[in-house]
A and B are shown apart, each in its own frame.
Chain A
Amino acid sequence: MSRMRDPKILIMAVAVALLACLPLFVNSYIVYIAAMICINALMALGFNFVIGFLGQLVFANTAFFGVGAYAYSILLMHVGLPFPLALLGACLAGGLIGLIVGLPALRLRGFELAIVTLAFNELMRWIYLHSGSIGGGASGMGLRPATLFGYELISDTSKYLMILVVTVIGIWMVSNIAKSTAGRAIVAVGANEFAASALSIPPARYNILAFALSGFFSAIAGALFAILLGRVAPESFGLNQLLLGFAMVMVGGLGTVAGPVLGAVLLTAAPEFLRSIPGAEEILFSVLLIGLLIFMPSGLFGGLAALFPSLRERHRGKLS
């Protein structure tokens, strides 16, 4: 009962309700951008599991994102699964790839890990490019619309609403995990592996779990991305996307839940506002990233939490 009266939950509920009504007030371009923000928020949250909670520099986020997009597409178009199952399959595929990447990552650290995961990203792109008739190769593949309860999601509004719901659930799940035993264990292992081991936490298990969770959530974002665009193509999963994901987490606030979401909102919306000034987006990007890394390394949300300590995120359930 006390959960219901918690002001934070009320604010969230109102915000989500307002977001759901967005299509009533704006044109489909804005709705499309809103859907993109949701997708980027999930992708950034997925990425945050490894670079934020676990604290390892890894560049495999876009690979997981791409796996989600392609897995969804292949399951939908070639295996003929209905949309919800294809989506589920995509996240499981992402989780699996995350797990697979997490294994060699146990032996590598720092610079080497960064380079190897970067190479992995490029490997995945090569696979997409050479995916022939399965993945459509360089020109990618078009997707039939997702069907929910017999209703085809074709318009931007219908896609947006579905994406909004999935994103809200995703953010909720990530938040729950951050406050659970697993979340605490991942953060502990990331903060000090030996101290965590001394508390009987097996570091390897939680290392891999962080990667698997990163893969899982990034893949959901990838599948939603494929649904929104109605197609997948290798161009969408290259270096640009990778840096964008990285920037979203860093700018928003590493190691938090609100941070990556904030970063996603900012770095998806701002380039659209700056559309009319070509090149402005790149300047904004660089200035923001460099400026924050120097003056506010904990990102925008970190800065906010420093000012308003009650905003600071906890790694535990409610204290009654």
Chain B
Amino acid sequence: MLRWKLLVASAAIALSGVMPAHAETGVTKDTIKIGIFAPLTGKSAIFGKYVIGVQAYYKMINDQGGINGRKIVTYLEDDACDPATAVAATKKLVAQDGVFMLHAGVCTASIMAVKDDMLRQGVPFMNLGAAGSSITVPTVANMFSPLPNTIVVGRTLVDFAMSRPNTKRLAVISHPDDWGHSQVDPAIELLKKKYNLDFVENVSMERGATDITPQILKLRQSKPDVVLSFLYPTETAIFVREAHKYGLNTPLLACFGASYEDTVRRVDNAAASKNLYVFHALAGAANGEKMKKWADMIHKYGDPKEEIENFVLSGIGGAEVIVEALKKAGPDLTRQKFIDALNGIKDYDTGVLSAPITFTPEDHGGVKSGAMITEVDGKLISFATWPKEKN
């Protein structure tokens, strides 16, 4: 009898050592594990820069004492913007590294590839930088996005173009893939429903194409007032350059895929980029005053020589609401409490995004508007509607 009691007692002692004080995955007495995946290699590696601002922010929060006594530990994996790689990365983060939540994904396809599995396992997922609307539409319990999605981008470009005086003829160029369609289709819909107009010309450009003379000529022929472009960075630059070359001198509105500074640098022709406007999710220009405190944060907690431009800043908003929700969820942290806390975030001004973030249980698309950034007298300024300064 005594032997049995000893056996049970020692088993209990052993088990109590083995069992963590908190049963929630990814949470220990003094850490919270956050998994991140982004394209660090491959043709979309430029978008990997979203990670920089996010990592710096988490470091800053840790430096300030953490959250309810816990410091954030991040685990970073490369998904190379490939769904299969994203699946492997996610499995590693969740099954091997045991993260509490994911703040991840810049390519929508990668996120869609892991979405079902994350839902099944109840892992909270905050979009890092992807623009696909299918992430939060339809709403799913664990998926959140703190950035304007492609529907918002498409509509913003149309509204902005139409806010220009005497504008009736809009033309559009886009990639014929899902990413392109997901912006062009809402744009077409809004143009029709709100303004009762159609695009006077709608051309497409394949990713990786370098010669778009036929498309430029078609656009020019349609005599547009404004041209909207929904292209990736490289292709945006090619378009801006070629448009200028062939005398397509209308204002050019570019979407979320490109950053203004990056595009201007690639185009390398001041006259060509004179009329360029780029969708801007941030509160101000990357090198402007509003972003200075974030620039300082990145230089302090990251690489002091880091060049501050859109991509490095755009993920910070998401990191802010994550930290806010972690704080609100309290010391007894579980995934469900965290998700509940996120659902309570209302009109949260991140100080980095142009619009506040709101999550409700029915709608996890946190940001519903954006601005357009352009150069005025040598300074980059973002505008919600057409600036009077530019005709």
Are chains A and B touching in the complex at the 8 Å CB cutoff? yes
Binary flags per residue of B199-241, CB closer than 8 Å to A gives 1, else 0: 0000000000000000000000000000000000000000000
Whether A229 is near chain B, meaning CB under 8 Å from some CB there, is yes
A236 to B94, CA, bound (A): 22
Q: Are B91 and A236 in contact (CB under 8 A)?
A: no
Given A137-B178, A282-B41, CB of A229 within 8 Å of CB of B113: yes
Q: Which of B82, B83, B91, B108 contacts A28 (CB 8 A)?
A: B91
Distance in angstroms from B18 CB to nearest chain A CB is 17
Contact A236 B83 (CB under 8 A): yes
Give B134-175 interface residues, CB cut-off 8 Å to A.
134
In the docked arrangement, what's the CA distance between A9 and B81, Å?
42
Contact (Cβ within 8 A) A30 B88: no
- Contact status A138-B177, CB under 8 Å: yes
B96 and A29 contact, CB distance less than 8 A: yes
**Residues of A with C-beta under 8 A to B120:** 154
The verdict on B40 contacting chain A, using a C-beta distance below 8 Å, is yes
Q: Is A233 an interface residue (CB 8 A)?
A: yes
Query: Is the pair A275, B117 in contact by a Cβ cutoff of 8 Å?
Result: no
Cβ of A196 < 8 Å from any Cβ of B?
no
A138–B134 CA distance with the chains assembled, in angstroms: 13
Indicate with 1 or 0, residue by residue over B262-280, a CB within 8 angstroms of chain A CB atoms. 0000000000000000000
The contact of B112 among A137, A139, A154, A275, by CB within 8 Å, is A139
The yes or no answer to B242 lying at the interface (CB within 8 A) is no
In Å, the complex CA distance between A275 and B113 comes to: 19
Q: For residue A240, which residue of chain B has the nearest CB?
A: B82
A240–B44 alpha-carbon span in the complex (Å) = 14
> How many residue-residue contacts, CB under 8 A, span A and B?
75
Q: Secondary structure of the B side of the interface? A: helix
On whether the beta carbons of A29 and B112 are closer than 8 Å, the reply is no
Measured CB to CB, the closest approach of chain B to A275, in angstroms, equals 6
- Is residue A190 within 8 Å, beta carbon to beta carbon, of the partner chain? no
Q: Could you say which residues of chain A place their CB within 8 Å of the CB of B297?
A: none
The total of chain B residues at the interface (CB under 8 A) is: 30
CB-CB < 8 A to A142: which residues of B?
112, 116
Q: Are B88 and A33 in contact (CB under 8 A)?
A: yes
* Smallest CB separation, A44 vs chain B (Å): 16
Contacts of A120 in B (CB 8 A): none
Q: Within the complex, what minimum Cβ distance (angstroms) separates B361 from chain A? A: 24
A27/B95 in contact, CB under 8 A:
yes
Interface hits, A242-275 → B, CB 8 Å? 272, 275
CB within 8 Å of A: which B103-128 residues: 108-109, 112-113, 116-117, 120
Task: Provide the residues of chain A in CB contact with B89, threshold 8 Å.
Answer: 275
Contact of B177 among A28, A129, A275 (CB under 8 A): A129
B116 to nearest A CB, angstroms?
A: 6
State how many angstroms separate the Cβ of A130 from the closest Cβ of chain B.
8
CA distance A140 to B92 in the complex (A): 24
Give complex CA distance A236, B88 in Å.
13
CA–CA, A156 and B134, complex, Å: 25
CB-based nearest A residue for B91 = A29
CA distance A278 to B84 in the complex (A): 16
- Contact of A236 (CB < 8 Å), options: B77, B82, B112, B177: B82
The 24 listed contacts between A and B (C-beta, < 8 Å) are A29-B91, A29-B94, A29-B96, A30-B95, A32-B91, A32-B95, A129-B176, A138-B179, A139-B132, A140-B83, A140-B109, A142-B112, A154-B120, A156-B91, A231-B112, A236-B82, A240-B82, A272-B92, A275-B89, A275-B92, A278-B41, A278-B78, A281-B41, A282-B41
Give the interface of A toward B (CB within 8 A).
27-30, 32-33, 36, 129, 137-140, 142, 154, 156, 225, 229-231, 233, 235-236, 240, 272, 275, 278-279, 281-282
4 closest A-B pairs by beta carbon, nearest first, are A138-B178, A29-B91, A138-B177, A29-B95
